[in-house]
Chains A and B, each alone.
Chain A
Amino acid sequence: KAGVTQTPRYLIKTRGQQVTLSCSPISGHRSVSWYQQTPGQGLQFLFEYFSETQRNKGNFPGRFSGRQFSNSRSEMNVSTLELGDSALYLCASSAETLTDTQYFGPGTRLTVL
């Protein structure tokens, strides 16, 4: 069974631009969560999608948004990039609920210059 895949793996953007990251969950998984990992703040929950609906949301500004498609693939978008958005963005999928075993992808490393 293929694992969680994230594209692209690396991304370099400049301040003010926007970016879209993609996540393909494990086949059959309906819940997709996104996390931001930085050296200063650690791992922080961004949001969770289930059946194309945002089910949970962390404490991030509205510049961070996401969506989920009918095949459970998910995208997250960050608009008006700031230097502080440089981070590893991790996607995780689980069968149904957030507390089922979450399987993480390798992440997308975003660098904002």
Chain B
Amino acid sequence: AQSVTQPDIHITVSEGASLELRCNYSYGATPYLFWYVQSPGQGLQLLLKYFSGDTLVQGIKGFEAEFKRSQSSFNLRKPSVHWSDAAEYFCAIGTDKLIFGTGTRLQVFP
């Protein structure tokens, strides 16, 4: 079965600290992979996506993600978190539809 797992429900970091959000997927082949961010009261915004090629993907707002086929993972990283990054982050795989993980809520302390 196709599924996405985000093991961390809630993460708290200090502003300026580095960040890594974990994402693992289950799929028979290499799916299309996405990270979205959702701020309160807003829809989802695409941060980055991976289809093929270079396994390190750069996105908007200083985010990057690395695809590791051997680990079925697509973790999101940011070297220095800003207070405005506080939001909920969703990893998703795309086959004939988008399948989302349950999300990770990021809280940023000043």
Contact = CB atoms under 8 A, between A and B. Distances in A.
B90 A43 contact: yes
B7 to A, nearest CB: 14
Secondary structure class of chain B's binding surface, majority of residues: strand
Interface of A: 4, 33, 35, 42-45, 48, 56, 58, 90, 92, 98-99, 101-107
Interface of B: 32, 36, 41-46, 49, 51, 90, 92, 94, 96-103
Contacts of B45: 104
A42 B103 contact: yes
A104 B97 contact: no
Contacts of A56: 96-97
A33 B101 contact: no
A33 B34 CA distance: 16
A99 B43 CA distance: 18
